[in-house]
Every structure is written in structure tokens, then in C-alpha cells.
């Protein structure tokens, strides 16, 4: 079953508004003594300008709107093969029950109150799957996968969690459109101190 949505991802924008900076210019020095900020030049001139090539070399993050996704594409069948050689030891056959955590949602064990948190039942954005695999996996060889391998693995894990069809082609254009089941559960922290326990 593939759930595709072409609607805008409004959640990150809402987050942006929640933490808006209104008024920061007048209050930002409140935690430091006035002498720390008096007679400060508009620029110290330390450091140097970064070139675009220097930025591109390490700017590997991917946002929920797809910004930062590299060229490439992936399909579940190829991802399954990569998973079986590079991921299965830690994350279990089919992404279930490995020593370092399941990635694929399965039936809740009768002894447990709540299901193990997996991509299928907990991760709110599909782009995070790509971002995280590319930056940190495999654990013993981080950063060793090609972009296409990361796309294949992303497709496999989303397919194994029944979020996309096995025929779905994950690309920079399609990955941000995938709607994750757990996304509506996420709410901003409402703890603010004071007498109420939250």
C-alpha cells in the first residue's frame, strides 16, 4: 500500500513559528554582563569566507522538504540485498529483532506494554531515514555507502514497514512526499516550569 501525498509539509513551518525570534535583538545579551558586549565592532574579521565547494563537501543534511537530497534513486529489492550483507547483524533478519534494535514494525510481544519504536510506527519523516543512514551507518563503517545504496536501503526499510509499495522508486522528488504513520502523534513540548507537573 503506498500512501502518497503531494500536499505541502506544513509541520516544519509550524515548528518554525513556534520558536520565532521576535524580540531577540533586545534581549539576547541578558545572561552576560554588559561589559562583554560594549564596544563590540560590527565584525572582528576573524575566520574566513567559506567557498561553495567547501560547503558542499560536508553539507550532508536532508530536511523534511527534501532540501539536501542528492541525485540518485532506490528500490526495495536492491535495498533488501544490501541490508542482508551490511545491516542484518545489528538489526535482525528483515529488520526485526536485532541486537541494536528493530527497524521494521511487527506484532507487539505479549509481555510488552508498548511496541518497540521502529521506523514504521515511530519515525515522523521519511527523509530522516535517508539522512541518518547516510551520515552514520553502517555502525562499523560509517559514511561508506554510496548515495544510491542509501536510496535503496531507504526504499527497502519503508517498504518492509508497509509505508510504500515494493515497486516505489525513492528519488529526491518522491521521498519528501511519503507520509509517515506516526507523524500526527508528534506535538511540541509544553512544559514551561511553574507548579504544574507535565
Partner 1 sequence: MKNKIIQLTQRDTKISRRKLLGGAATAAVAIVQTAEGKNVQAALTQAQLSDDDPTKKLGTFPGEIGTRSSFEKLVKDPSETSSRSPLQDFYGIITPSDLHFERHHGGVPVIDPTKHELLIHGMVSKPMIFKLADLKRFPSVSRIAFLECSGNFRSGKETLRPQEICGLTSQSEWTGVKLSTIFREVGIKPNATWFLAEGGDAAVMTRSIPVKKGLDDVIIAYAQNGEAIRPEQGYPIRLFVPGWEGNTNVKWLRRIELSDQPFMTREETSKYTEFVNGKVRQFSFDIDARSIITFPSYPQQVEKGWIEIRGIAWSGRGKVHKVEVSVDAGKSWQIANLQEPILDKAHTAFRYLWKWDGNATEIMSRVTDETGYTQPTLKQLVEARGESNGYHFNPITAWQIKPDGSVLFKPESFR
Nearest approach in angstroms of CB 95 to partner 1 is: 14
Count the neighbouring beta carbons within 10 Å of the beta carbon of residue 182. Answer: 16
Report 116-155 residues binding partner 1 (CB under 8 A).
117, 119, 122-125, 127-128, 131-132, 135-136, 139, 142-143
Selected range binding partner 1 among 8-16, 70-78, 146-154, 170-178, rule: CB under 8 A: 8-16
CB 170 within 8 A of CB 158: yes
Q: How far apart are CA 111 and CA 11, in angstroms?
A: 35
**Residue partners of 104: CB distance under 8 A and separation at least 6:** 94, 95, 96, 118, 119, 120, 157, 160, 161
What is the rounded end-to-end Cα distance, in angstroms, of the chain? 38
- Smallest gap from Cβ 101 to partner 1, in A, equals 10
Nearer to partner 1 (CB atom), residue 21 or residue 107: 21
Gap between the Cα atoms of 51 and 140, Å rounded: 31
State which of positions 65-84 bind partner 1 (CB under 8 A). Answer: 65
Is the Cβ of residue 65 or residue 148 nearer to partner 1 in the bound state?
A: 65
CA 171/CA 194 separation, integer angstroms: 47
Find the angle CA(29)-CA(32)-CA(34) to the nearest 5 degrees.
80
In angstroms, what is the minimal distance from the CB of 167 to partner 1?
26
Binding residues (CB under 8 A) for partner 1: these are: 12-13, 15-17, 19-21, 24, 27-32, 36, 40, 42-44, 46-50, 54-55, 58-65, 113-114, 117, 119, 122-125, 127-128, 131-132, 135-136, 139, 142-143, 182, 185-195, 197-198
Amino acid at each position: 500500500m503506498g500512501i502518497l501525498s503531494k500536499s505541502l509539509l506544513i509541520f516544519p513551518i509550524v515548528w518554525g513559528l513556534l520558536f520565532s525570534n521576535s524580540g531577540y535583538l533586545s534581549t539576547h545579551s541578558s545572561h552576560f554582563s554588559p561589559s562583554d558586549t560594549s564596544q563590540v565592532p560590527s565584525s572582528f574579521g576573524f575566520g574566513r569566507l567559506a567557498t561553495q565547494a567547501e560547503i558542499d563537501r560536508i553539507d550532508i543534511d536532508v530536511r523534511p522538504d527534501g532540501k539536501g537530497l542528492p541525485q540518485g534513486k532506490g528500490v526495495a529489492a536492491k535495498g533488501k540485498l544490501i541490508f542482508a550483507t551490511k545491516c542484518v547483524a545489528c538489526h535482525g533478519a528483515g529488520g526485526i529483532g536485532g541486537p541494536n534494535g528493530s527497524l521494521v514494525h511487527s506484532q507487539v510481544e505479549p509481555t510488552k506494554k508498548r511496541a518497540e519504536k521502529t521506523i514504521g510506527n515511530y519515525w515522523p519523516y521519511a527523509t530522516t531515514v535517508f539522512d541518518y543512514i547516510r551520515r552514520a551507518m553502517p555502525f562499523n563503517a560509517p559514511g561508506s555507502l554510496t548515495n544510491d545504496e542509501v536510496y535503496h536501503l531507504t526504499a527497502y526499510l519503508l517498504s518492509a514497514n508497509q509505508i510504500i509499495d515494493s515497486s516505489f522508486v525513492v528519488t529526491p522528488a518522491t521521498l519528501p512526499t511519503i507520509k509517515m504513520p506516526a507523524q500526527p502523534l508528534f506535538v511540541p513540548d509544553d512544559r514551561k516550569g511553574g507548579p504544574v507537573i507535565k
